[in-house]
Amino acid sequence: MLRLKLLYNLVIMELVLQQPDDPPFRMLPELTPETAPFWTGGAQGKLLIARCGACRLWIHPPMPVCRVCLSRDIAAEPVSGRGKVHSFTINHQPFLPGVAVPFAIAIVELPEQEALRLTTNIVDCPPDAVHIGMAVSVRFLRQEDVYLPLFAPTPAAEA
Ligand SMILES: [Zn+2]
């Protein structure tokens, strides 16, 4: 009976957590002048990455000073939104309420520059189909004023 009750409570909890109007809870990043373009570019459907105006280096995570030429002339520019899975892990731990497990956490490398990488989730794809080298494209998940850049497999016709 206790088991049944526990099971019942878990089911109710799931139902409560997965209300369709209620987007899954995620930890939202803090917006600063440097990071805001990256987290809000999705409002225009663009993945914006910081770039040095002097030596043209792409810089991620965004920094106020270029690590190569020390210029402070840094501004965000759009990238293609394409990428490849550099590495990934499948998370089975329900760390956050409302985020269904398992899900894929990946480091995606952008083609604009060698080793230009960001940490993201791979979505619209079963976690066990994610693999290194997989071609992926950005999409945005709006959460309040933030547009989280997530990646999904690039359709074969576009790859
Ligand atoms: Zn530079």
pLDDT one digit per residue (tens) for the chain, 159 residues: 444 444 433 433 333 344 444 555 567 888 999 999 999 999 999 999 999 999 999 999 999 999 999 999 999 999 999 999 999 999 998 877 777 889 999 999 999 999 999 999 999 999 999 999 999 999 999 999 999 999 999 988 776
**11 part of a folded domain:** no
Centroid of ligand 1 to alpha carbon of 70 (angstroms):
6
pLDDT at 82: 98
**102 part of a folded domain:** yes
Centroid of ligand 1 to alpha carbon of 141 (angstroms):
31
**18 part of a folded domain:** no
**103 part of a folded domain:** yes
**Cβ within 8 Å of residue 101, ≥6 positions away:** 91, 92, 93, 94
Q: What is the pTM of this model?
A: 0.80
Centroid of ligand 1 to alpha carbon of 16 (angstroms):
49
Centroid of ligand 1 to alpha carbon of 67 (angstroms):
7
**15 part of a folded domain:** no
Tell which phi-psi region holds residue 57, choosing left (phi > 0), alpha (psi between -120 and 50) or beta.
Answer: beta
**138 part of a folded domain:** yes
Centroid of ligand 1 to alpha carbon of 7 (angstroms):
57
User: What is the extent of the structural domain holding 53?
Assistant: 23-153
Centroid of ligand 1 to alpha carbon of 117 (angstroms):
17
User: Which of 141, 139, 137 has its CA nearest to residue 158?
Assistant: 137
**77 part of a folded domain:** yes
Number of domains into which the chain is organized: 1
**13 part of a folded domain:** no
